Amino acid sequence: MNRIVQIIIFLLVLISCNKEVVNTPNPENGDSEFISAVDISRYPEISNVNPTFYDLDGNQEDFLTILKENGINAVRLRLWVNPLNEHSGFNEVKQFSQTLKTKGFKTWLTLHYSDTWADPGHQEIPLQWQGISFTALKDSVYNYTKKVVDEIQPEYIQIGNEINPGFLHPYGHISNNFQQFKELMDTAIIAVRANTTDTEIILHFAGIDGSDWFFNKINILDYDIIGLSYYPIWHGKSLNNLKDKMQSLSETYHKKIIIAETAYPFALDWNDWTNNIVGLDEQLILPEYPATIEGQRKFIKQIIRLTNEVENGIGFCYWGAELIAWKGNQSTDASPWENQALFDFDNNALPVLREFNAE
């Protein structure tokens, strides 16, 4: 990283430390629109088998058209550095992002800074970056992030995915090595700020418990939006607690806030032999939201309602909307999520999709 870039980083970090004003939506730029998003990161792979989808009237229709016609206005995609195959790699994500933009979707990229899944239990440095010096690692993070911003131009970008323990371990461990975590985060953030004024930065925490500690810890960073994952199976079964936490975090840290991941089952049944993640009543919010078509619809309706009721709540993202059993009903390595997709076991659009138009 050259001297000029280092000076820019230093100056912008100083500015970020003094940020006190919430970055409110600008209606003139169309930013006031409630974000009704879906994560369909695996759709490019699924589309290779050319599955047939049906809209809410039972008519065969293009998958992305069904999403668009039901009010979905943003698509979230994961991005891996050098995955084992092309899926979720730079070229696939860039190409798919271009397709999404032509169809009128905003794009929301979640940079895992890994070759595979990054989450609270896994934050592994990409193989290509392993064994290099910390200075070289920062250079790699800067150059990679800059490339993403320059070539894909997302409206929203996550620096890391579910970074409860930090990212790029062991260097970027938030508890064991906070200074290097901060330097890596600052480097990625500056790569965004220095190369675009149109992309908002999301920092993403999985769950509710521990979120106060996390966002207090990172309060010195320059970002725009607090992102939370919320799944009842892992993060508690009280939507009131979720709403209260969202309100508290937004007020405390003067940030917009979004539910970056959520989902709910329409059944406890399965459509292939890949083990499903949710399959028991004890994993649900009962009796209010059973694993039925109506229970799924009511859950998302309430997620949207509470997000709208939170001051500075700007939207939500439904994770795994596309994860039908696309390899057939005998597959053991396809979807662990087909009972939580937005399409039933015959690829019919589910009534929950109507809620995405609600604000």
Q: Which of 155, 261, 322, 338 is catalytic?
A: 261
At 72, give phi and psi (nearest 5°): -70, 125
Amino acid at 294: E
d(CA 166, CA 308): 29
**Cα separations (Å) of 269 from 25, 72, 154, 342?**
41, 26, 36, 15
Separation of alpha carbons 76 and 157, rounded Å: 9
Catalytic residue chosen out of the listed positions 162, 183, 200, 338? 162
Closest listed residue to residue 92, CA positions, set 33, 48, 136, 140: 48
Complete DSSP assignment for 110-169: EE-SSSS--BTTB-BPPGGGTTS-HHHHHHHHHHHHHHHHHHH--SEEEESSS-TTBSSB
What's the DSSP call for residue 258?
A: E
Comparing CA positions, the residue from 78, 88, 77, 75 lying closest to residue 38 is: 75
| Cα–Cα distance measured from residue 203 to residue 225, given in angstroms and rounded to the nearest whole number | 7
For the beta carbon of residue 23, count every other beta carbon within 10 angstroms.
Answer: 16
CA angle 82, 138, 207 (to 5 degrees): 70
**Which DSSP helix (H) or strand (E) runs through 8?**
helix 3-17
Q: Does the active-site annotation cover 251?
A: no
Contact 352, 297 (CB under 8 A): yes
Calculate the CA 267 to chain-centre distance. Answer: 24
- The whole-angstrom separation of Cα 295 and Cα 303 is 12
Concerning whether 261 is annotated as a catalytic residue, the answer is yes
The Cα–Cα gap between 324 and 309 comes to: 32
Query: Which residues are identified as catalytic?
Result: 162, 261
